[in-house]
Structure 1
Amino acid sequence: MKISLNWLKRYIDINASTEELEHVFPMLGLEVESVECLGLPPLENIVVGEVLKKEKHPEADRLSVCEVAIDKSGATEQIVCGASNFKVGDRVPVALVGARLPGDLKIKKTKLRGVPSSGMMCSATELGLGEDAKGLMILEGNPEIGTPINDIFNDSDYVFDLEVTANRGDCLSYLGVARELAAWYNLPIKQPEVKTNLPIATAPAADSLLKKLSLDTENCPYYTAISIKGVTIAPSPEWLQKAITAIGLRPINNVVDITNWVMMESGQPLHAFDANKINGSEIIIRQAKDKEIITTLDSKKHTLDASMMVIADTEKPLVIAGVMGSLDAEVDETTTDIVLESAYFEPVSVRKTARKLNISTDSSYRFARNIDPQQTLQASLRAVDMILEIAGGKLSSPIVVLGKPTREANVIEVSPDFIRAKCGFDSTDEAISSIFKRLGYTVDQSDKSLWTVTVPSYRPEVYRPIDLVEEFLRIHGTVNIPEGKPQFQALARNDDRIDRFTSEARNYLAAKSFSECYNYIFRDKADLQTWFGEKQAQGLALGNPLTSDHTHLRPSLIPGLCEALKHNQDHNNIADNLFEIGHVFRFIDGKLWELLSIGFVTRVNSEERRWRATEKPDFFLAKRVLMDLISLAAIPEKMIALKPLSRELMWQDNHSATGNDILQDGFRMTLGHVNLKLIKDLKLDSPVLACELLIKPELFDKSGQPKVFKAFSPYPSSNKDISVIVDATTLADDVQSTIEKIAKQAVSGAFTVEEVSLFDHYQGKGIPEGKKSLAFNLRYRAFDRTLGEQEVAQAFDRLQDKLKAESEYIIRTQ
């Protein structure tokens, strides 16, 4: 946002220097990108002088020794000059001793080749007025001797280029910036005077240029239009052209320049149509038709779709709403009648349209940042005043208004003690309320302990008590906070179970020699289709992506981690074990879910980069890490059920497993090798072992419930081992579950089977091909006695008999 200081002074009487304003703007939250001086900067001790004598320097052929009159009393100075383009009687700018020229050149008394010189006659370049290769600047018009040079060139200006954050749409206007400075300096605002007082109608008058106005879209809650007959299109007055040129706008004609002036003044974009180019004398605010064509004012053709809003007549679109008008209704030198539009368009609609069409204008920039709908009508009346004054004409109708402003002022209840506590220093109620009032807020202090603050509609981002704290500190000035010891309150232990779990998981994985990664949560569509398929890609598309390669939400951490492995490989980085904790998004049963995810990856065949010095990464080592993470999440081990995974693009068939249902159980885990084709496409030189644990946040509500503990048995346990031969494809979990179930039946409740655990897995000599041997330990225990050897043996025999009868497992005897 470019702000001309001269233009700004129309709304606030401010005498601060440019250097001071460069400091103040950032304190208000408006970063200064640059400051540009237009014309002559303020210069002291530089006056109009007249050359009385000009003599050759006795020691230098190219220098002249001059006597120069410097004020009307007749005072003179001797000045040595190297220019040759002047003569006796010329009036020139003279920098006196003590003057400081642009570029920080200070004028001092000196001697040039032995001749004293007190001052300097200046060229245009030395004054900062451009380049002048001829020499001295000869002043035309015989200005009075001794006149300060700034009085001769009194049209100088400074232009501040301010970086306005997306939440401060109110500062995309001169009045918005003036309000900020008025609050800072405690000065009044000079509001533009509006002379026109028009009746408001909901439909055009019968004799109006505009016969009908229709609103046929929800993306325009408020629209106004007014007709003016008999305008004279001509170049704008010099003052108007100079003002808009100073901030980088191009003068077009008086009507268009006035709409730009009012937009920069108030922040409200306006548009003027040539009324005689509107077919059917009807304006319709509607959504565009698919493949509808419009040629915009920059002479470019654009193909529209139904997501875009247009202002149209009965035949064609006249404006891409909030973005740019069309050539078909352009105001040009032939225009005599106009229709002036002022409206509030939904920010999201304008932002999406501008992005899709790759058009960025001052109007779309403001609409996308949520301008104040309460100023829509006032800006229109301001423009009407200026058009009637500058372009002539007369009003053809009352102002037609459709809809109403949708935004109400925010009302916040806040305690002054809350503000003091958050600021960390004492401030009186009067000082706090004074700042709010300077910002334009209404403060009801009838309840001394709880104020009611009404925030103007142009500040929608201020809606919480903490926002008022920020507003107070902003205007109070952080540099004005008194020095003192830090004041703080001791906070209770963080009881957020999700935070505790992620913190513990992070520490655990770091201890296991994993390095943490942070990746973007956005992915590109083609990338998602490769890793997850078309269905997930469609469900995760963003409505308004930031960039063309960040168009979708990520459904998994694994692709980003694999890309990080590739980056490390390419840069000879030894970090081969990576993890990430973050949120992912899954489209499940027609609904989008946001899930907590913990993912880790490791390269399998990296001989010099071992996961741990004594352990080469494999499926079972990764499973151990996964089980530890599940334990940290307080998920009961009995809930876990891993099954072979197949027909998923990201995972390698027959080398991966998954378990549990995210919707039913609240978590889902997947473990195994990443699809080798994907690894090959990434050009990784070794397979990748990966694991991802997805958790619904609601799971922590259940896991946080009070735990019920049972007493331990004081009696010793009795142990038995059993080994069974099963198909090589049979899961150990299934076998373990079957043995545990039958073992509990076999003890008949007389004592318990405390645990069944796998301790050996064998394939090889003595085991038939296609089979494997699994060995389990069974731990028996009673709570009321020491178990006798015979009763344990009987229970174990019953287990073996039932296994033989009810399963296909072969019990090994040796």
Structure 2
Amino acid sequence: MKVSLKWLKRYVDLDETPEELAASLTLLGFEVDDMETTGVPQLENVVVGEVLQRDQHPDADKLGVCRVDCGPEAGEKSIVCGASNYKVGDRVVVALPGAELPGGFKIKPSKLRGVPSDGMMCGASEIGAGNDNSGLLILEDRPETGTPINKVLTDSDTVFNLEVTPNRPDCLSHIGIARELAAWYRRDIKYPEVNDIPAESDRVSGADVFQGVEVSAEEDCPLYLASVIKGVKIGPSPKWLQEALSSIGLRPINNVVDVTNFVLHECGNPMHAFDARDIAGGKIIVRNAGEGEAMTTLDGEERKLSSRMLVISDEEKALAVAGVMGGQNSEVKNDTTDLVLEVAYFRPSTIRWVSKKLALSTDSSYRFERGVDPLSLRYASERAISLILETAGGKLCTNGVKVGTEPVSETEIKITPEWVRKKSGFDISNEEIREAWELLDMKVSVDSEGEWTVSVPSYRGDLFRPVDLLEEVLRIYGTDKIPGGAVRATATTASDSPITQFNRKCSSYLIGQNFAETVTYTLRSAEEQRRWAGHVSAEELALLNPISEDQTQLRHSLLPGMLEVLHLNQSRKTGANRFFETGRVFRELNGKIVEMVAVAFLECNAGTERTWKEKSYDDFYAAKERVKTLASYAGIDLGKFKIREVSENEGAWQEGHSAAYEEPKAGFFVRVGLMSLPRIKEMDIQGEVFGGIFCYLPERLREPKRIKFKPFSLFPASSRDLAIVVDQSEPAEEVVRTLNKIASKAAKGFEVENVSAFDIYEGTGVPEGKKSIAISMSFRALDRTLKDKEVNKAFETIQSNVREKSPYSIRD
């Protein structure tokens, strides 16, 4: 927000330099992004002088030697000057020794061609008063000699560009900032007086141009004020008003519009003036827009509205988007004579939603969506009426309207000074505490038990807890005055959170596997979500208030963003084709949308490098083992869960080449394998992409079991093979899991070291719809060499249990 120093001085006496004010504003909590000085800057030792005598320089034809009266304090000075546009008796600008002019030019006693010169007479460009460098600046108004030049040339100004935090809408105005500086410097605040509003008996009837206000959306518009002014004359604003608006970057338009803009930036109250003849039926209606209703706003854009948006309308059409921008169909024009002035309070959340939805942010919406003081509406309305009557003439009418009541906005907070001292950590007196609050326009009362009640003004809606009042004490007392103390930090032995540890382990593992880490946006586009996750998921994950059109949904998976990274690297021919990412995804689980911890990886087998040796790439089995390793870092052994083939309706994965693990009760989700070839082709990615993703509910993330040393056997293993006939649809991994359980129970006194599938056969000798899986089982004892007799006995038990206790049969 831009704040003019010259404008601020209307409300509080400020003698400090712009740099000092910038430092004070920063300490008050308002960061000064930059300062811009216009006109004559603050200049020390630069005064008004009068030329008393002018002689020719003895050694230079173009120089004159002048005797100049510089006022009672400086006296007369002898100054050598090269200008020729002045004469004896002229009042001029004199920079005395010790002055520093713009550009860092310092004035000191000197000699010019052997003649002493005790200062310098200045032109306009030399003091920053313009670009004229043709001669001296002659002061035609003949101010008193010795007067500091800044009291004569008062057009100079400094404009601060401030960062005002969202919780301080009261400071989105010059009066708001002036209140803060008045409290900081312990000075009085001077509110503009409004004492020239005509009495009711001096007003005229406006019934012929305005019939009243109807509010049908009371929840969104609790208070609406309308005033009628007849007989105004539209024209340019007075110079002071134009200069005030121009100083903060606003373009003057006409006297009425300029007044509404001035009051907005003076008081922080947005308002709008309607041309009364454009209000059909003479009646203003505050209502919700019709679904699809259109109107053209002042910026020339046609806006499509929804039923959730609030509009100001007449009996036929919408006149303005409430709290955001007026319409072209009722703006003040050069021939406008009758006005309806609107000042209202709108619910902040409504204006915030409308502004975001229309992608339209204005000075009005910026203030309304943060909260305007409802008790300030009457004053702001009268201030605007007063200025309109002053600058545009006209008569105030008797049919002004107030609809609704002011929402409750004043707060009382109980607190004690002892609590303030305890929380602040240093000794501060009761008087200093009370002074800080009273300087900020708060009223303090003390009961018989020593408890204080602080009444917060209506414009400070950010103060509602004792700790808020503590912050105000520290601000006004001065954070720079807080005494220093020893820093005491308690050491902690707590470990990082389980999520941080999980992400670190996954990253370390995948980086070691030559994967490059990516970081992509959590918010994705609706089109991407529909393509990769389906329409239902896209709707479920849609944001109510997206920040941009390409970031409207929470992401369903990490992989689409990583595929974009892969495509970018392929197009740049970087050679990078292995990527991973850790982050959060959002999925439906047990009927609810949940946030899950996720890690994903992918590898593309399109060779982009010319090499003498063919490179090897991941296949399904390599990707599956990799995702098992990642799951183990969350304490999950995927080998204990059933695996299934992905179905054709899971569009992100290629059917027949991808698999899924999922266990809602355990709170995890896994997909692994070949990614959809049509989708990969749509993205113009060359080659096949194998990948995997592991998602887990963060509240169920647990520390994996610590790996303990297990003695290894020095004796040889004994192995047996077995052919199992199963359904063609049965996963080999499920068969291995079942055989491992059966073998572990059958082995007595030794261990089943390994059970694995090494061959799959379909054809002659195997029934139709079945397949034969060859299983190898390895046995080993820790303390001896196994004998064939004990291994055969265990093997026979295994075969018996397979026939009797499993759905499988043994191939003879």
TM over 0.5: yes
Q: How does 1:669-748 map to 2 (within 5 A)?
A: 669-700=670-701, 722-724=722-724, 730-739=730-739
> In 2, Cα distance between the equivalents of 1:629 and 1:389?
75
Instruction: Name which of structure 1's ranges 141-150 and 72-81 shifts more when overlaid on structure 2.
Output: 72-81
Who is 2:711 aligned against? none
> In 1, Cα distance between the equivalents of 2:606 and 2:772?
26
Give secondary structure in 2 for the equivalent of 1:620. Answer: helix
> In 2, Cα distance between the equivalents of 1:453 and 1:778?
81
Q: For this pair of structures, how many residues does the alignment match?
A: 784
1:168 is aligned to 2:160? no
1:396 is aligned to 2:393? no
Match of 1:658 among 627, 636, 660: 660
1:157 is aligned to 2:154? no
8 A contact 2:357–2:545 mirrored in 1:
no
Identity %: 40
Aligned letter for 1:364?
Answer: S
8 A contact 2:654–2:674 mirrored in 1:
yes
> In 2, Cα distance between the equivalents of 1:462 and 1:595?
36
Give the direction of change, closer, same or farther, for the CA distance of 1:145–1:412 in structure 2 (3 Å limit).
closer
Q: CA deviation at 1:247?
A: 1.9
Deviation per CA, 1:669-696: give whole Å up to 9, x if none. Answer: 1112333344445555553332212223
1:759 is aligned to 2:760? no
Structure 1 alignment gaps of length 5 or more: 708-715
8 A contact 1:26–1:32 mirrored in 2:
yes
> In 1, Cα distance between the equivalents of 2:687 and 2:420?
58
> In 2, Cα distance between the equivalents of 1:447 and 1:758?
83
Q: CA deviation at 1:232?
A: 2.8
Q: How does 1:556-705 map to 2 (within 5 A)?
A: 556-568=557-569, 576-586=577-587, 592-604=593-605, 617-635=618-636, 637=638, 640-647=641-648, 648-662=650-664, 664-700=665-701
Deviation per CA, 1:364-398: give whole Å up to 9, x if none. Answer: 22223333344334433443454456645234235
Q: CA deviation at 1:136?
A: 1.6
> In 1, Cα distance between the equivalents of 2:417 and 2:600?
45
8 A contact 1:656–1:673 mirrored in 2:
yes
> In 2, Cα distance between the equivalents of 1:512 and 1:481?
53
TM-score by length of 2: 0.82
Give the direction of change, closer, same or farther, for the CA distance of 1:732–1:388 in structure 2 (3 Å limit).
same
Give the direction of change, closer, same or farther, for the CA distance of 1:472–1:684 in structure 2 (3 Å limit).
farther
> In 1, Cα distance between the equivalents of 2:344 and 2:130?
43
> In 1, Cα distance between the equivalents of 2:9 and 2:320?
34
Aligned letter for 1:245?
Answer: S
Who is 2:312 aligned against? 311
> In 1, Cα distance between the equivalents of 2:675 and 2:454?
57
8 A contact 1:97–1:118 mirrored in 2:
yes
Who is 1:712 aligned against? none
Q: CA deviation at 1:313?
A: 0.5
Instruction: Name which of structure 1's ranges 177-186 and 427-436 shifts more when overlaid on structure 2.
Output: 427-436
Who is 1:801 aligned against? 803
8 A contact 1:208–1:227 mirrored in 2:
no
> In 2, Cα distance between the equivalents of 1:68 and 1:281?
68
8 A contact 1:71–1:146 mirrored in 2:
yes
8 A contact 1:227–1:340 mirrored in 2:
yes
8 A contact 2:740–2:755 mirrored in 1:
no
Give the direction of change, closer, same or farther, for the CA distance of 1:773–1:16 in structure 2 (3 Å limit).
same
> In 1, Cα distance between the equivalents of 2:241 and 2:500?
58
> In 2, Cα distance between the equivalents of 1:175 and 1:753?
87
> In 2, Cα distance between the equivalents of 1:675 and 1:467?
55
Structure 2 alignment gaps of length 5 or more: 707-714, 782-786
> In 2, Cα distance between the equivalents of 1:720 and 1:418?
80
Q: CA deviation at 1:314?
A: 0.3
Q: How does 1:133-152 map to 2 (within 5 A)?
A: 133-152=133-152
Give the direction of change, closer, same or farther, for the CA distance of 1:252–1:120 in structure 2 (3 Å limit).
same
Aligned letter for 1:401?
Answer: V
8 A contact 1:676–1:687 mirrored in 2:
yes
> In 2, Cα distance between the equivalents of 1:654 and 1:606?
24
Who is 2:126 aligned against? 126
Q: CA deviation at 1:189?
A: 3.5
> In 1, Cα distance between the equivalents of 2:777 and 2:418?
68
Q: CA deviation at 1:584?
A: 1.8
Deviation per CA, 1:77-131: give whole Å up to 9, x if none. Answer: 3323232333344332121222221222111222233333222121111111111
Who is 1:102 aligned against? 102
Give the direction of change, closer, same or farther, for the CA distance of 1:206–1:58 in structure 2 (3 Å limit).
closer
Who is 1:259 aligned against? 260
Give the direction of change, closer, same or farther, for the CA distance of 1:757–1:272 in structure 2 (3 Å limit).
farther
Q: CA deviation at 1:358?
A: 4.8
Q: CA deviation at 1:72?
A: 6.7
Give secondary structure in 2 for the equivalent of 1:380. Answer: helix
Q: How does 1:60-459 map to 2 (within 5 A)?
A: 60-71=60-71, 75-193=75-193, 210-217=210-217, 220-234=220-234, 235-387=236-388, 391-397=393-399, 399-402=401-404, 404-405=406-407, 409=411, 425-428=425-428, 430=430, 435=436, 438-439=439-440, 458-459=459-460
Give the direction of change, closer, same or farther, for the CA distance of 1:752–1:435 in structure 2 (3 Å limit).
farther
Give secondary structure in 2 for the equivalent of 1:259. Answer: helix
> In 2, Cα distance between the equivalents of 1:468 and 1:635?
50
Give the direction of change, closer, same or farther, for the CA distance of 1:399–1:519 in structure 2 (3 Å limit).
same
Aligned letter for 2:585?
Answer: V
Give the direction of change, closer, same or farther, for the CA distance of 1:169–1:86 in structure 2 (3 Å limit).
same
Give secondary structure in 2 for the equivalent of 1:669. Answer: strand
Give the direction of change, closer, same or farther, for the CA distance of 1:59–1:197 in structure 2 (3 Å limit).
closer
> In 1, Cα distance between the equivalents of 2:503 and 2:199?
63
8 A contact 1:736–1:757 mirrored in 2:
no
> In 1, Cα distance between the equivalents of 2:677 and 2:414?
58
Who is 1:11 aligned against? 11
8 A contact 2:124–2:133 mirrored in 1:
no
Give the direction of change, closer, same or farther, for the CA distance of 1:719–1:437 in structure 2 (3 Å limit).
farther
Who is 1:711 aligned against? none
Give the direction of change, closer, same or farther, for the CA distance of 1:448–1:489 in structure 2 (3 Å limit).
farther
> In 1, Cα distance between the equivalents of 2:317 and 2:731?
68
Give secondary structure in 2 for the equivalent of 1:660. Answer: strand
Give the direction of change, closer, same or farther, for the CA distance of 1:768–1:337 in structure 2 (3 Å limit).
farther
Deviation per CA, 1:606-649: give whole Å up to 9, x if none. Answer: 69899xxx996443333333223333323465762221124333
> In 2, Cα distance between the equivalents of 1:310 and 1:434?
44
8 A contact 1:666–1:698 mirrored in 2:
no
Give the direction of change, closer, same or farther, for the CA distance of 1:195–1:672 in structure 2 (3 Å limit).
farther
Deviation per CA, 1:247-299: give whole Å up to 9, x if none. Answer: 22233444333322221122121112233432222211122224434333345
> In 1, Cα distance between the equivalents of 2:493 and 2:506?
22
Q: CA deviation at 1:408?
A: 6.5
Instruction: Quote the RMSD (CA, aligned, Å).
Output: 4.6
Aligned letter for 2:108?
Answer: K
Aligned letter for 1:394?
Answer: L
TM-score by length of 1: 0.82
Who is 1:34 aligned against? 34
Give the direction of change, closer, same or farther, for the CA distance of 1:167–1:521 in structure 2 (3 Å limit).
farther
Aligned letter for 2:546?
Answer: P
Q: CA deviation at 1:496?
A: 5.5
